[in-house]
Amino acid sequence: MSYKIPLFDLNFDQSEENAVLETIRSKWISTGPKVDAFEKRFAEMLNVQHSLALSNCTVALHLAMKLCNITDGDEVICPSLTFVATANAIRYVNATPVFADVVDINNLNIDSKDIEQKITSKTKAIIVMHYGGFACEMDSIMDIAQRHNLRVIEDACHGPLSEYKGKKLGTIGDVGCFSFFSNKNISTGEGGMLVTNNSRMFERAKLLRSHGMTSMSYERAKGHSTTYDVVELGYNYRMDDIRAAIGLAQLDKIEADLKKREEIRKLYVKALNKIDSIVVPFTNHNGFSSNYIFPIILKNSNYKIRDAVREKLVKAGIQTSVHYPAVHRFSIYNDLYSELTNTDYAADNLITLPMYSKLTNNEIKYISDHLLKAISNG
């Protein structure tokens, strides 16, 4: 259906179209110069040593597992309030996800105290997901990892250019993973990026990205080599130059887009302060955030009340979503179910409101007024 105010609006214009046309006319559309340029610029913007463009963020998470030598029988602690790919990547290497709770309904990030309680002799890594682009408590998490000799993987799919104490998210742990899916802050339709400051991990990731081959087609076309060896069982996880060209156009816009989102968040918070029956998570957050989404949580509520509120907003032409259904409650993870009190409440009572840089003051007022009406009318 068509909404008066959609959940998300793609930040595309003539620049993306021109970038695609230029790439097509160059007659090099697979992994090549645009991918190389995209990787270099992304690394520069994050102040990280290495960036590797990939076909999506899920494969970045899979490669992160491989780079951290996670294997059969290992345990990896991760959040449940995330997209299922975060946990699925652990299963791809025959390891076991161990779900940790979120801090509370004001902070939807993984709780460092619960992380430490769930460490066993089998634990090999921690995956954090910076919810909505708001940083997890990385000092505590990195301290836990150091004391227990664990790897840290950052699922930063929500947080391009978000910061924690002056450092870009994705650059603090051993490996960072980003998504360029169609509704992300940076969109290439499908796509992802793996970043690291570990040169050994980066070189191995390059091999794994392309079948374990010691050189790629673009390198051979430039005359750098005429043959190749296959030295490891790799995958076809490459990004193509068409998507990388779109990514470069998106990077030209990202800083202005994020500043506008910051302004929109402030307008939302001001407008919603009058509604006592909701919580706006991360209201007291310090540090720059990408503001990928704008979640609220209903107080003294349940999923039936939440769904009724969402339905009333739909009737007003306002699209909403839920980020996310709790992963530990999916059928595929029945065998790993555990009580996660804060996660369960958040998943049942969370509403994701529209968030994109083109939202106007009048639209934010319209959303806020209808939200108040929907809640007040029960």
Helix (H, G, I), strand (E, B) or coil at 21: helix
250, 267, 298 - which closes a domain: 250
Q: Are residues 283 and 240 in the same domain?
A: no
The pLDDT value recorded for residue 215 is: 83
- For residue 77, tell me if it sits in a domain: yes
Q: Are residues 237 and 265 in the same domain?
A: no
Q: Are residues 189 and 312 in the same domain?
A: no
CA neighbor of 376 nearest in space, from 287, 258, 275, 228: 275
222, 250, 278 - which closes a domain: 250
Range of the domain at 73: 14-250
Residue for token pair 């699922």: 155
Helix (H, G, I), strand (E, B) or coil at 210: strand
Domain count, the chain: 2
The pLDDT value recorded for residue 2 is: 87
CA neighbor of 37 nearest in space, from 207, 270, 252: 252
Using CA atoms, how far residue 70 sits from 95, 129, 171, 189, 268, in Å, is 7, 18, 20, 29, 42
**Whether the predicted pLDDT of 65 surpasses 90:** yes
Q: Are residues 320 and 197 in the same domain?
A: no
Q: Are residues 275 and 322 in the same domain?
A: yes
- For residue 8, tell me if it sits in a domain: no
- The rounded percent of the chain whose pLDDT value lies above 70 is 97
**Whether the predicted pLDDT of 216 surpasses 80:** no
In sequence order, the 6+-apart residues with CB closer than 8 A to the CB of 159 are: 130, 133, 134, 135, 169, 170, 289, 290, 292
**Whether the predicted pLDDT of 270 surpasses 90:** yes
**Whether the predicted pLDDT of 221 surpasses 70:** no
The pLDDT value recorded for residue 274 is: 85
- The rounded percent of the chain whose pLDDT value lies above 90 is 94
CATH of the domain at 297: 3.90.1150.10
Weakest mean pLDDT among 92-101, 221-230, 272-281, 284-293: 221-230
Q: Are residues 276 and 237 in the same domain?
A: no
Q: Are 370 and 316 in contact (CB under 8 A)?
A: yes
The pLDDT value recorded for residue 105 is: 97
